Every structure is written in C-alpha cells, then in structure tokens.
C-alpha cells in the first residue's frame, strides 16, 4: 500500500488558516487596523467599498517596512513581535500570531505599498491566491498602505455566506470603533463608498467616546480611575439615566485590547445594582491595565476572549472601582473644558468646593444612600430618584388603530361586550362576556393589534404616511445610521418616510398618522433601540425584528389613562385579530374569568 499522508500546498494551508482568521470583511479590518497601530502610526485611514466585499484599504503613516520585510510579512507564521517562547507570555502589541496577512493574501487580491523614512523609495507588492504577481520600487509617502480587493474571489462558497452590505458594514464599523476607542491619541477615519462616516481627531479618551457614541454622553459620563500595584482601571461609565435596553455602548479593554467578558460585565452590572432597571444596560468604556503575564490572550482566534490568572481579584476590582465612581459623581466638581465659556463662569462651576460645602454635600440623603453599607434598597425612596423610571415610561402619544378588514371573528360566546368597559390601575381593561369577563392587559393587547396591522402593511397594504409640515432632522451614531439605512424600505411600508441627509443624518419627512407632531424623532430612536434588542436573537428575520420592534415601541403603555372610545376600540380590535390571545413574544393579552368559577369562589 502506498503512503497516503502528504503536506498541504501553501495556498491550501493558507486558505484553511483564513477560515479561522478571516471570517468576513470585518475580520480583515480588525487585523489591518491592529497592524497599523503596532507600526506606530498616529494617523490611520480605513477605506471600504461594498461593505468590504470589493475593497478594504488601510493607510497609515507608521514606520513602514523594508523590501524584505514586506515580502516576508505574507508568509505564514511570520511576525516581528515574537522571537522566543517568553515573548508569547508578555505580549503588548495588538497583532502577534503571524497569520493575518498570509490569510488575507489567500482569499483576496492584495496590493501593498510601503516605505520607511530612511529609504529613498518604497516597495509595491501585488499578491493573488498566495502568490506574488508583482514586486517593484515605487514612490510613496512614509508608512504603509494595504488594499485587499474582491474578498473570497477564489472561494465562491465563502462569499455566498456573506450577509447584506448594511449587515457587513455594521460589523466593520464595530471593529473600527473598538480599535479607535482604544487609541484616542491616533487620528482615525472611515470612508465607505466615497462617503466619510468617521473623522476622529486626536484627543482625550472622553472626547473620543463622545466623537464615537454621540454628544448626548458629553455631560453624562462618570470618570472611573483606580490604581493598585496589581492592576489599574480607568475610563468612563454613563450616568444611570443613560442606560438603554440594549448592550450596544459597552466596551471593556485589557491592555488596550477590546475583549468580551460576561464575567466582567456581571461585575459592572452589580455595581449599578438598583440604580437602573433590571432589563437595562449601562454605557461603559473601561480600560484595565495589568502585567501581560497575568493574562492569556491566545485562547481564541479573534483574541476577543481572554483568561485572567486571578479572575476573582479582577471582578472585585472592577465592581469596587465603578461603585466608588458612581458614589462620587454627584458631589465631585469637575471642570469640563468642552463647556461653553459662559457656563464655566457660573458659581457652581467656578467657585471652590470648600470643606463646608463638602460637609453639607456629604450629609445629604443622596450621598448617604450611595456610600453607606446595605443601603441600596433605600436609594429610590430616600434620594429623590424614585421618578427615574419615568425616563422609560415617556413615549409617543397613543393611538388605537382602526382594525384591518380581513379579521377572523371569534365565536359570539367568546367575544366580549364593548359597552361599559372599566379600566383598572390605568393598565387593565375589564370586558364582560356571556360566560364571565376578560381582564385585558392594554399594552400587550395593543402590541398584538399593531403587529398584525404591520404584517398586513408589509404584505402589500402600506400604512398611509402623514407628511410633516416641518421635517425633523435625526442625527445618529454611525452604527445606528448604518442600521437605519437598511431598514428604510420596510419602514416606508409602515408609514415612515426617511431620507438620508449627509453623514449619519436623516430627515423624517413623514410618519404614520398616529405619531403626533413633535414625537417623530423619539419614535424612530426608540424603535432602533428595540430593534437592536431583538437583533441578539438570531431566529428572527430582519422584517420580523422590525415588526416586533415597531409594535412594542408604539403600543400604549401600562399606566396610561384611556378614554371610553379608546378602550372600546382596543378591545374590539384585539378580538378581531388572527391571534388575539398572545403578543408576538408569547405574553398573554388577556385572562378569562368564568362566572361559574367566580360563583364557586364565593360559595355559590
């Protein structure tokens, strides 16, 4: 029998490695940006076309490479960052495994231009399917430019698995943000299809966070800073009122590397404890610095999952640091140099924080609830924060929609009477039937009604749009702008007329008739938050997530007083629904209480 084991050719071995390293365009973006940071650049530009499928280019002004190094960079396991086994356990650079460029060259057409400051000319190298097709001198600025074109051109099956352009672009933006946030001392820009999405000037960490996440955080960030011999932590968390229904604005970095850690996230959530709703998520951008030998960062191909030598110490340190910061934010004066000059002249900002004032602040109930032990359950009642939940309850004015035509009628014995309806606790409606009564949950019921109405709209019966007399401008973060861009066609079927208006900006030209003037912007923003919440559930299609988000966001909230006409409309519409008994998420819309069972309760 002949021998059957043989070495794989380089191009096939590289493609196998690429399956781990380069899963989608965003994977390549991450690797190329990290290499640019490691090259000492203070200016990095990312250019993409067709969400990275046609082009991904990273241009930096770093130290560049020699001709030999430029050629070697595309070999497997070639790196300038590790020379012995000890180096593997004290890694401080971003990239280090020597797989990235070889993997990229295996699945894309790559063009590299690079020049060192001391060299008279640079070098140009073109590679296709792991083979060098061109190598020649070239006149270029100092630094490196790598362009990868036609990703997966030689692996059609992999290319077919890529998502839509808006979806892939969102992943690219996520990777870009994770690198840009970690290095505020570096200029970053991102251009997509010729339009600049990000232009991030060098600055402080706070300025970089606001540049990326939006001006709404400018006055709502709490500084976190603790130093010990074992580790340091610094960064910012959002004040409790900025908590959202989705995890979007949450960033942990260990030695400047973005990581995902459910363990550390749990520590931070515990620090906020009763200060935010259970189903809400605080914003944070926190950086942990500790000895690289205490961390194993090579446990996952993307390097986003790591292991700490002593997880419990890190957990306790994060929780303690954030708790301390939150306890201090209400009494510690800070001078924000981004503030308007007239604001800085106010007494509250300009006058010194004397010992007398400090004593007065420290004796306040608010301070005590944050600093005394075992006081968390008193925060709302003592500190005047009991109305913080209003932030979530405020919503667009309700409107109970007119029922669709093709409804399935319930048998008459099950259909409630719609006269003399009674509202309980501004949340429930009592509707009598011939067999007893229904206790209807008004928000759940309205969710079901809207959901079925929206389903019909997307199936060819568009909801009428009411054009705005004064169109509203909507400014979003880059990630939300990419998300909304992909939803515009379906939203138009649901009565929303949105038009792109420059970088990350949209104009709301019209909304459904039941969204009142002045609430257009809130309606769209809250819908996006809800959509992102559903996006974590992979079993839903894009349309299903949009339908559920719109229904949940626009439904009349519990605690809202309804008129007799509104109650009648809601109950009648509910029992003309195809599936009247549950919400799209499976919650009951009503409970039935039968008369004979009620009689038994009273011994009759």
**Would you list the domain boundaries of the chain?**
10-200, 205-328, 422-592
Average pLDDT over residues 94-109: 73
| pLDDT single digits (tens) 208-217 | 999 998 888 8
DSSP state of 23: S
Q: Which CATH architecture group holds 10-200?
A: 2-Layer Sandwich (3.30)
Average pLDDT score, the chain: 80
* Separation between Cα atoms, residue 601 and residue 197, nearest integer Å: 65
* Separation between Cα atoms, residue 423 and residue 563, nearest integer Å: 9
Using 50, 70 and 90 to split pLDDT, how confident is the model at 145? very high
For residue 80, the model assigns a pLDDT of 53
List all residues 6 or more positions away from 258 whose beta carbon is below 8 Å from its beta carbon: 178, 179, 181, 182, 251, 252, 304
Position 479 pLDDT exceeds 90? no
For residue 440, the model assigns a pLDDT of 95
Average pLDDT over residues 106-121: 92
For residue 141, the model assigns a pLDDT of 94
Position 352 pLDDT exceeds 80? no
* Separation between Cα atoms, residue 145 and residue 194, nearest integer Å: 17
For residues 86 and 66, the answer to whether their CB atoms sit within 8 Å is no
Specify the pTM. 0.68
Position 571 pLDDT exceeds 90? yes
For residue 451, the model assigns a pLDDT of 92
Average pLDDT over residues 108-127: 94
Position 65 pLDDT exceeds 50? yes
Same fold, 10-200 and 422-592: no
Provide CATH code, domain 205-328.
Answer: 3.30.230.10
Using 50, 70 and 90 to split pLDDT, how confident is the model at 42? very high
What length does the chain have?
604
| pLDDT single digits (tens) 260-293 | 888 888 889 888 877 888 778 899 999 998 887 7
Using 50, 70 and 90 to split pLDDT, how confident is the model at 464? confident
Which tops the pLDDT comparison, 460 or 136?
Answer: 136
* Separation between Cα atoms, residue 124 and residue 132, nearest integer Å: 11
* Separation between Cα atoms, residue 138 and residue 168, nearest integer Å: 33
Position 334 pLDDT exceeds 50? no
Does domain 422-592 bear CATH number 3.30.1370.100? yes
Instruction: Choose the weakest-confidence range: 31-45, 134-148, 304-318.
Output: 304-318
For residue 235, the model assigns a pLDDT of 96
* Separation between Cα atoms, residue 34 and residue 414, nearest integer Å: 64
Average pLDDT over residues 424-435: 92
Position 104 pLDDT exceeds 70? yes
Average pLDDT over residues 566-586: 91
* Torsion angle defined by CA atoms of residues 524, 530, 535 and 537, in that order, rounded to the nearest 10 degrees: -150
Position 253 pLDDT exceeds 50? yes
Tell me the three-class secondary structure of 176-209, residue by residue: HHHHHHHCCCCEEEEEECCEEEEEECCCCHHHHH
Using 50, 70 and 90 to split pLDDT, how confident is the model at 19? low
| pLDDT single digits (tens) 70-85 | 888 887 665 555 455 4
For residue 260, the model assigns a pLDDT of 85
């Amino acid at each position: 029998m002949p021998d059957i084991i043989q070495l794989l050719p380089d191009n096939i071995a590289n493609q196998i490695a690429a399956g781990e390293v380069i899963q989608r365009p965003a994977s390549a973006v991450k690797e190329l940006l990290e290499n640019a940071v490691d090259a000492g650049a203070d200016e990095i530009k990312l250019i993409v076309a067709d969400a990275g499928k046609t082009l991904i280019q990273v241009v930096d002004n770093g130290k560049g490479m020699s001709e030999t190094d430029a050629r070697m960079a595309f070999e497997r396991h070639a790196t300038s960052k590790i020379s012995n086994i000890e180096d593997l356990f004290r890694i401080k650079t971003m990239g280090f495994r020597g797989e990235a460029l070889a993997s990229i060259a295996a699945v894309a057409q790559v063009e590299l231009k690079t020049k060192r400051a001391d060299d008279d000319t640079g070098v140009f190298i073109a590679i296709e399917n792991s083979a060098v097709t061109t190598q020649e001198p070239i006149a270029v600025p100092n630094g490196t430019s790598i362009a990868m074109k036609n990703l997966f051109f030689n692996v059609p099956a992999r290319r077919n698995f890529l998502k839509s352009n808006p979806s892939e672009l969102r992943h690219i933006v996520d990777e870009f943000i994770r690198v840009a946030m970690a290095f505020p001392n570096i200029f970053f820009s991102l251009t997509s299809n010729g339009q600049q999405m990000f232009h991030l000037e060098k600055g402080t960490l706070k300025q970089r966070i606001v540049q990326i996440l939006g001006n709404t955080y400018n006055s709502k960030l709490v500084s976190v800073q603790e130093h010990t011999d074992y580790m340091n932590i610094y960064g910012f968390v959002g004040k409790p009122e900025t908590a959202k229904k989705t995890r979007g604005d949450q960033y942990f970095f260990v030695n400047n590397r973005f990581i995902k850690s459910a363990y550390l996230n749990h520590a931070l959530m515990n620090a906020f404890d009763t200060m935010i709703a259970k189903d809400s998520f605080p914003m944070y951008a926190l950086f942990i610095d500790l000895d690289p030998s205490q961390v194993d960062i090579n446990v996952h191909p993307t390097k986003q999952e790591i292991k700490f030598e002593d997880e419990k110490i890190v957990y306790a340190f994060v929780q303690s640091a954030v708790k301390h910061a939150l306890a201090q934010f209400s009494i510690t004066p800070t001078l924000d140099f981004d503030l308007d000059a007239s604001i800085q002249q106010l007494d509250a900002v300009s006058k010194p924080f004397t010992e007398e004032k400090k004593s007065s602040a420290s004796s306040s109930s608010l301070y005590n609830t944050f600093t005394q032990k075992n006081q968390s359950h008193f925060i709302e009642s003592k500190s005047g924060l009991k109305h913080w939940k209003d932030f979530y309850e405020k919503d667009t004015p309700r409107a109970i929609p007119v029922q669709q035509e093709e409804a399935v009628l319930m048998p008459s014995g099950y259909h409630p009477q719609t006269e003399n309806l009674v509202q309980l606790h501004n949340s429930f409606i009592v509707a009598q039937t011939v067999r007893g009564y229904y206790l209807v949950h008004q928000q759940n019921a309205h969710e079901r009604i809207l959901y079925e109405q929206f389903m019909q709209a997307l199936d060819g019966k568009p909801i009428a749009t009411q054009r705005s007399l004064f169109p509203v401008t909507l400014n979003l973060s880059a990630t939300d702008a990419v998300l909304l861009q992909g939803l515009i066609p379906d939203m138009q079927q649901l009565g929303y007329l949105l038009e792109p208006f420059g970088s990350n900006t949209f104009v709301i030209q019209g909304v459904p008739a039941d969204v009142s003037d002045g609430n257009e912007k809130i309606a769209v923003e809250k819908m996006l938050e809800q959509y992102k919440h559903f996006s974590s559930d992979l079993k839903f299609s894009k349309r299903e997530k949009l339908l559920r988000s719109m229904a949940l966001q626009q439904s009349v909230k519990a605690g809202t007083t309804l008129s007799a006409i509104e109650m009648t409309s809601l109950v009648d519409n509910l029992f003309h629904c195809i599936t009247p008994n549950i919400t799209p998420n499976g919650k009951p819309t009503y409970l039935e209480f039968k008369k004979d069972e009620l009689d038994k309760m009273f011994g009759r």
